[in-house]
C-alpha cells in the first residue's frame, strides 16, 4: 500500500514582508508608523493616587470627625492616622501594622472610605454651613413655586435635567389651562415649603438660654412657697416657650443651601433622622449635630449563637432546663 503525502504549500510571505521592506508602499506609513514617545505613564500613578484623595467638606473637615461619624468605636484609632491623605491612601496591611484591629473594623473603614470618595455621604454630609461645634441649622422656608430657591432644592434632590423637564411641563400645563378650568390657580403654582441649611444664626443657643431662664424662674417660684402657681403653670411645651423664632432676611435666604434627607409637613413640622427641633419654632427650625455613630451601619445581633449554632444551642439549653426540672421534682 502506497501512502502519498500531500504537501500543502503555504502562501508566500512576500506581500507581507514588502510592507516592511518597501517604504513606498501606501500602507507602510499608516499601519507601522512609530508612536511618539510619551512621558505621561511616568506620572500616572501619582495622578491616580492624588485623584483618589477627596477634598474635605464643611461637615467632615478632618480625620477625627470622619472616624466619629462612621462609629463602631473607630475614633479610638484617631492618633494612628496622621492626616487626611493617609486616611485615603493607607492599605489594609498598613492599617494592620498601625494596630487597627480587628479585620472587620478595617473592612468597615475601607468601605466607608470608598463611599466618601464617591460622594455617598450620610445624613448632613452635604451641609454647606456648619458652626465651630459641628452643628447644622435647618429652617423650613415658604417660597414661591418655580422660584430660584425651589429650583435649587429640587435640582439637589432630583438632578438638573429632570427638574428642567418638569419646569417645562409645568409651564405648558398652566399655559394650556382654560379660563373655566383652573381659574383659581395662578401660573407660579402657589407656595411651598422647603428645608434649607442656613448660616448659623444662634437661635439654638438663644432657645436654650431662654429655656434655662424659665426653669430657673420656676424653681425660684417653687422655693418661695408658690407651689400652687407652679403646678397651674403650663408644662414646658413649644406653645409655652418664651422663645420666638426670627424670620430670615433676604441676605440669609440667598446664602442658604439645599440639603438632602429632610422635609417639612404642615401637621408634623420638620422631619428627618437625628434632628433636634428647637423649642418655640413650631417645627420650622431644627439643628443636626455631629455625634458618635451618626453614619454608623449597625451590625446584626446573633440570636442563640447565630444561624450555624442555633439548633445546637437550643438543644443543649432544652436539655439543661429538663435536667433542672427533674432535679426540682426530686
Check residue 248 and give its pLDDT.
82
Q: Is the pLDDT of residue 186 over 60?
A: no
Residue 34 has pLDDT above 70, yes or no: no
Least confident of 34-43, 84-93, 220-229: 34-43
**For the ranges 78-82, 184-188, 211-215, 304-308, which has the lowest average pLDDT?**
184-188
Alpha helices by DSSP H, the chain: 14-21, 28-31, 44-51, 63-70, 84-87, 92-98, 103-117, 148-158, 160-175, 203-223, 227-232, 250-255, 310-329
Provide the pLDDT for residue 171. 64
Q: Is the pLDDT of residue 307 over 90?
A: no
Percent of the chain exceeding pLDDT 90 equals 39
Residue of higher predicted confidence among 89 and 220: 89
Instruction: Please give the residue that has the higher pLDDT: either 36 or 266.
Output: 266
Does the structure show a pLDDT above 60 at 70? yes
**Cα distance between residue 106 and residue 95, in whole Å:** 7
Q: Residue 266 has what DSSP assignment?
A: T
Q: What is the pLDDT of residue 2?
A: 53
Amino acid at each position: 500500500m502506497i501512502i502519498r503525502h500531500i504537501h500543502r504549500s503555504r502562501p508566500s510571505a512576500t506581500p507581507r514582508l514588502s510592507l516592511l521592506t518597501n517604504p513606498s508602499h501606501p500602507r507602510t506609513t499608516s499601519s507601522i508608523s512609530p508612536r511618539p514617545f510619551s512621558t505621561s505613564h511616568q506620572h500616572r500613578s501619582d495622578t491616580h493616587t492624588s485623584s483618589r484623595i477627596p477634598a474635605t467638606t464643611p461637615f467632615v473637615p478632618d480625620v477625627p470627625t470622619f472616624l466619629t461619624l462612621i462609629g463602631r468605636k473607630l475614633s479610638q484609632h484617631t492618633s494612628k492616622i496622621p492626616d487626611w491623605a493617609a486616611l485615603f491612601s493607607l492599605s489594609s496591611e498598613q492599617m494592620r501594622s498601625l494596630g487597627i484591629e480587628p479585620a472587620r473594623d478595617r473592612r468597615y473603614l475601607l468601605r466607608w472610605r470608598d463611599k466618601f470618595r464617591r460622594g455617598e455621604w450620610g445624613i448632613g454630609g452635604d451641609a454647606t454651613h456648619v458652626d465651630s461645634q459641628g452643628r447644622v441649622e435647618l429652617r423650613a422656608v415658604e417660597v414661591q413655586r418655580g422660584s430660584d430657591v425651589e429650583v435649587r432644592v429640587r435640582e439637589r434632590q432630583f438632578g438638573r435635567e429632570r427638574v428642567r423637564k418638569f419646569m417645562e411641563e409645568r409651564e405648558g400645563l398652566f399655559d394650556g389651562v382654560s379660563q373655566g378650568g383652573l381659574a383659581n390657580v395662578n401660573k407660579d403654582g402657589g407656595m411651598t415649603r422647603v428645608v434649607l441649611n442656613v448660616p448659623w444664626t444662634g437661635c439654638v443657643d438663644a432657645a436654650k438660654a431662654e429655656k434655662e431662664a424659665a426653669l430657673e424662674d420656676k424653681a425660684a417660684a417653687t422655693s418661695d412657697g408658690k407651689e400652687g402657681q407652679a403646678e397651674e403653670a403650663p408644662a414646658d411645651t413649644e406653645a409655652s416657650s418664651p422663645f420666638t423664632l426670627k424670620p430670615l432676611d433676604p441676605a440669609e435666604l440667598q446664602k442658604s443651601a439645599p440639603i438632602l434627607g429632610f422635609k417639612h409637613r404642615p401637621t408634623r413640622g420638620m422631619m428627618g433622622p437625628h434632628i433636634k427641633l428647637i423649642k418655640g419654632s413650631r417645627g420650622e427650625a431644627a439643628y443636626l449635630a455631629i455625634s458618635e455613630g451618626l453614619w454608623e451601619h449597625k451590625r446584626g445581633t446573633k440570636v442563640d449563637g447565630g444561624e450555624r449554632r442555633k439548633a445546637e444551642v437550643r438543644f443543649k439549653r432544652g436539655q439543661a432546663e429538663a435536667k433542672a426540672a427533674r432535679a426540682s421534682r426530686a
